[in-house]
Amino acid sequence: MRNPLKYTWHLYTSQFEKILLLMVLTTLPLLLLHSYTTNYIYAITPTINPVYSVADIYYALITILLFIIAQTPYVRFVFNEYIGKEPNLGNTFYVFLVNGFTVFVFALLAALVSTIGFTLFVLPGLAVLALLFPVPYISMFDEKSTWKSFKEGIRIGKKHFWKLLLVLLVTGLLEGIFGVVVVAQIFKITNSFAAQILTQMTLNLLIFPFVVMYITSLIIKWRESQEVLEMHGES
């Protein structure tokens, strides 16, 4: 893959109907679950410190957990399109369901470790997340459990650590800033909390798949480069 960003944009625009179906069937239910769960936790958790709350820890844990799980259908979708596998959507849902349990367990452990890092300081949490990030991608590429994909995933995470960290930081900041600006404009029109939540969900539905598809394209490129290097090394 020569240009991951160009490939991602072409795939996102040319296959938007299929991606929209993935959004509705996988991402939207997880967003609704995230919204309900986190709001409920904030409602029942006592606030001891006005700046920092125990609920923030639960929020980080749930967000990272669902974030990792929500990526996997798009990872497989991009990979199927890249290798020309048909039917793409059917195989995407199949691999998502088959690998779902191991991805969930891995996501839970990764979320726990990353959240501990975030509570100590932001950077350790991001560092752990960047290091572990490629593991579920390799799992979805090869249709293997996350445990069998762990070694290669960590190897890619180590080699491209700073690139992954930069992508996560930049995309997270841009999405956050864009979301705040849009919600602020909505707030000028209406004070409805539901309208703000729906707006934020819509933005997440549109932006999140593109970011994941771009990272998937990057990891495919990095993996291909690594395989070429290994072949040259053996020869």
Residue 132 belongs to some domain of the structure: yes
pLDDT (0 to 100) of residue 44:
82
Number of domains, the chain: 1
Residue 233 belongs to some domain of the structure: no
In this prediction the pTM is: 0.89
CA 182, 59, 41 angle in degrees (round to 5)?
105
What's the CA gap between 114 and 121, in Å, rounded? Answer: 10
179 pLDDT band (50/70/90 cuts)? confident
Range of the domain at 149: 4-226
pLDDT exceeds cutoff 90 at 30: yes
Residue 139 belongs to some domain of the structure: yes
What's the CA gap between 18 and 175, in Å, rounded? Answer: 23
Closest by CA to 80, choosing from 149, 22, 131, 147, is 22
pLDDT (0 to 100) of residue 232:
45
pLDDT exceeds cutoff 60 at 228: no
Residue 232 belongs to some domain of the structure: no
**Helices vs strands, H then E, count in the chain:** 11, 0
Q: Which residue has the tokens 């939540």?
A: 197
Residue 69 belongs to some domain of the structure: yes
